[in-house]
């Protein structure tokens, strides 16, 4: 039974029952007229009889006599914030904080380093030297520009395409390759798949394979930072495919209600593995979802380094000073395959990939910008690529030649004192390895 509160022109408080058709069944609704006398209304009816608004649990709601459904979508899409044209020039009407030469050059160098590391580690997987890899091709600007806009004290909860964020914070190429090869210097002790980075030193929570788990966790981390008055925020990265997971909606709602200082950065790269965006949702991208949860949001060109930097820096200031969550939708394109387990040419045209790889490359666009400012030359370009290539190849050689973690690492770091059943499992594995050494090669592996 539903209770309806209708305005009435008379002063009688009466109750009428109406028979209504609902889902093919007959039901009864109680229709109550508002009391004309405010005093009587306060005694018998908790709802006021305002002419224009009705008090509700969540506050006042405007009233209308017109039955009007909210449109499912607007013909006009929400705008995308942009600073740079594809030729590296500034959009004529743009007002932005000027990047200094040192910061701009460092950002460009980091983007080139990320792309080079991706190239060689991807090839290492194809050669069977590591088991798995995921690249950030086409999304380098989101990685580096967002990282540059944050403070080292902010906590980052990445998805799995944010290696550049770690590189910017000081996590080295060598540490990345150690993780991918799972050697004894891997911070994760060889327990994670490649590209599942994490660093307590750099405030980066270790990546988890299941989609969207980091979003609700980020809301909790941010709430903790708020309670402790740390003057920092949490930052959760995700792809647009993960917004179809329940954790995305739970995380945004929790952050909004608790007014947690968290930035949700969504890389809308067009594809959730082989599923295009138009098959994922009917909303105007991801930015429109923020409104439903009462979260301030912005859409930004994810291939524009300056636009991403400005948007994330402003988002951080608002998140901390106003204690509120912010949603940033970065529009980009996944140039590479989803992972080494995928062949994206099976479900999207190669000319589409080539267009985004060349004409809309964030690295190429930003290089044109710093060259226009006189901060970069062809000689510097050649030297950078030469040095970075050498650095990555040396890191891979070192990581590959290093011993694997000790067998005991399979069982440590779970219990303070290892229980008997795990002791028995460890003994059983050692016995099997010693008995069937031909089936369990132990070269480079400390048993």
Catalytic site residues? 123, 209, 338-339
Q: Which residues pair with 271 in a beta bridge?
A: 276
141 to each of 82, 298, 302, 336, 344, how far by Cα in Å? Answer: 13, 17, 7, 15, 22
Can you point out the beta strands (E) in 77-208?
A: 155-157
**Can you tell me the distance from the alpha carbon of 32 to that of 14, in angstroms, rounded to the nearest whole number?**
6
Q: Which two tokens stand for residue 272?
A: 């959730």
Q: Which two tokens stand for residue 21?
A: 């058709």
Place of tokens 């636009």: 307
**Alpha carbon of residue 341 to chain centroid:** 22
User: For residue 326, which phi and psi values (nearest 5 degrees)?
Assistant: -130, 140
Residue 72 is classified by DSSP as: S
Residue-by-residue DSSP string for 224-263: HHHHTT-S--EEEEEEGGGGGSHHHHHHHHHHHHHT--EE
Report angle CA 228, 165, 294 to the nearest 5 degrees. Answer: 55
3-state secondary structure of 371: helix
In our burial notation (b when 16+ CB lie closer than 10 A, e otherwise), range 150-160 reads: beeebbbbbbb
Close Cβ partners of 40 (under 8 Å, ≥ 6 residues apart): 13
How many residues comprise the chain?
Answer: 447
Residue-by-residue DSSP string for 380-421: HHHHHHHHHHHHHHHHHHHHHTSPBPPGGGGTSSS-SS--HH
H/E element holding 341? none
């Amino acid at each position: 039974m539903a209770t309806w509160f209708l305005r009435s022109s008379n002063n009688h408080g009466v109750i009428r029952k109406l028979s209504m058709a609902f889902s093919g069944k007959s039901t009864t609704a109680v229709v109550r007229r508002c009391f004309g006398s405010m005093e009587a209304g306060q005694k018998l009816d908790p709802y006021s009889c305002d002419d224009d608004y009705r008090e509700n649990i969540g506050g006042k709601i405007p009233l209308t006599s017109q039955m009007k459904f909210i449109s499912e979508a607007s013909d006009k899409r929400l705008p995308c914030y942009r600073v740079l044209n594809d030729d590296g020039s500034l959009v004529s009407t743009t007002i932005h904080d000027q990047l200094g030469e040192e910061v701009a050059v460092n950002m460009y160098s980091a983007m080139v380093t990320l792309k080079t590391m991706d190239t060689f580690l991807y090839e290492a997987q194809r050669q069977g030297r590591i088991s798995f890899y995921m690249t950030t091709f086409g999304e380098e600007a989101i990685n580096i520009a967002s990282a540059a806009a944050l403070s080292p004290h902010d906590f980052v909860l990445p998805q799995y395409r944010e290696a550049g964020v770690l590189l910017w914070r000081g996590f080295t190429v060598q540490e990345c390759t150690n993780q991918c090869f799972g050697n004894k210097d891997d911070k994760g002790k060889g327990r994670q798949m490649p590209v599942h980075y994490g660093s307590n030193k750099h405030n980066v929570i270790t990546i988890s394979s299941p989609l969207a788990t980091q979003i609700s966790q980020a809301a909790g981390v941010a709430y903790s930072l708020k309670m402790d008055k740390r003057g920092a925020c949490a930052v959760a990265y995700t792809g647009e495919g993960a917004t179809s997971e329940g954790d995305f909606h739970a995380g945004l709602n929790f952050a909004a209600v608790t007014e947690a200082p968290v930035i949700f950065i969504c890389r809308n790269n067009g594809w959730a593995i082989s599923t295009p965006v138009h098959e994922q949702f009917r909303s105007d991208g991801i930015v429109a979802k923020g409104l439903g949860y009462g979260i301030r949001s912005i859409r930004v060109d994810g291939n524009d380094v300056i636009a991403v930097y400005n948007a994330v820096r402003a988002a951080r200031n608002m998140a901390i000073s106003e204690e509120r969550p912010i949603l940033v939708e970065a529009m980009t394109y996944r140039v590479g395959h989803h992972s080494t387990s995928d062949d994206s040419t099976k479900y999207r045209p190669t000319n589409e990939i080539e267009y985004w790889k060349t004409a809309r490359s964030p690295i190429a666009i930003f290089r044109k910008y710093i060259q226009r400012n006189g901060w970069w030359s062809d000689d510097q370009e050649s030297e950078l690529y030469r040095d970075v290539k050498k650095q990555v190849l040396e890191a891979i050689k070192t990581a590959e030649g290093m011993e694997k973690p000790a067998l005991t690492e399979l069982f440590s770091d779970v219990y303070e004192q290892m229980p008997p059943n795990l002791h028995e499992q460890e003994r059983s594995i050692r016995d099997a390895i010693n008995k069937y050494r031909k089936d369990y090669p132990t070269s480079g592996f400390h048993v």
